[in-house]
Amino acid sequence: MTVGLGIGDSRVSAFSPTSAPSDSSGSVTRATESACETPEDRPRTERRAATRPNSAAADPLSMPDYDRLGGASVSGDSQELPVPQKAVNLELVKSGGEAYWGVREADGAVIVSQLYDPIQDDPGIRFLTSTAIPDDSRQLRVPDAVYDHWDDVADGGTAVAGGDRLEFVTTEEMAENEQMMLLPEWQVDDVIGGDDS
């Protein structure tokens, strides 16, 4: 089955160049984030707690063993972030390949995979879009559809902006299907229940 690439996505950074400083790569830094916060942004944790989907943390006995692969800050301009070496070693991401994006309905976790069929065939995952991975690159571009999903989980406002850290997480079962999760820092405990492995 052929899936069109979501390469044409574009997204404007949550902060304008005139309202927040940028680092040498053009990504918005977090130094003045507190000065840019609005009352709507500040209580994100409370708003998420009231609206988040069923969390894996609610039933720790049913939780799989999560493997935290590492994390990185996402660029506010290119919407890209480097894939951790551990994920590359597990061959969860390959240069010149394609990334398929979906959402796990049970807890709102974003799933990214090199294989389309396991996402499409899983009734618990809603397919979003796909993006290309450039040749000789470990950079993964986060599509607009994923940012929109995170905004929905956070119940409005900008949930993830340039400079925010995203975590890569997988399980043995997910790795067999070349899948991993990409989670904002504020969603990690909700999804994996504070597992520090």
109: in domain: yes
Which of 125, 146, 161, 142 has the alpha carbon at shortest distance from 44? 161
The pLDDT, as a whole number, for residue 62 is 52
Q: Count how many domains the chain has.
A: 1
157: in domain: yes
3: in domain: no
125: in domain: yes
1: in domain: no
20: in domain: no
103: in domain: yes
- Tens of pLDDT along the chain (197 residues) come to 444 444 444 444 433 344 444 444 444 434 334 344 444 444 444 444 444 444 444 444 455 799 999 999 999 999 999 999 999 999 998 889 999 999 999 999 999 999 999 999 999 999 999 999 999 899 999 999 999 999 999 987 899 999 999 999 999 999 999 999 999 999 999 999 865 55
The pLDDT, as a whole number, for residue 116 is 96
pTM of the model: 0.68
CA distance 41 to 20: 16
7: in domain: no
Instruction: Determine the structural domain holding residue 137 and report its residue range.
Output: 33-59+66-192
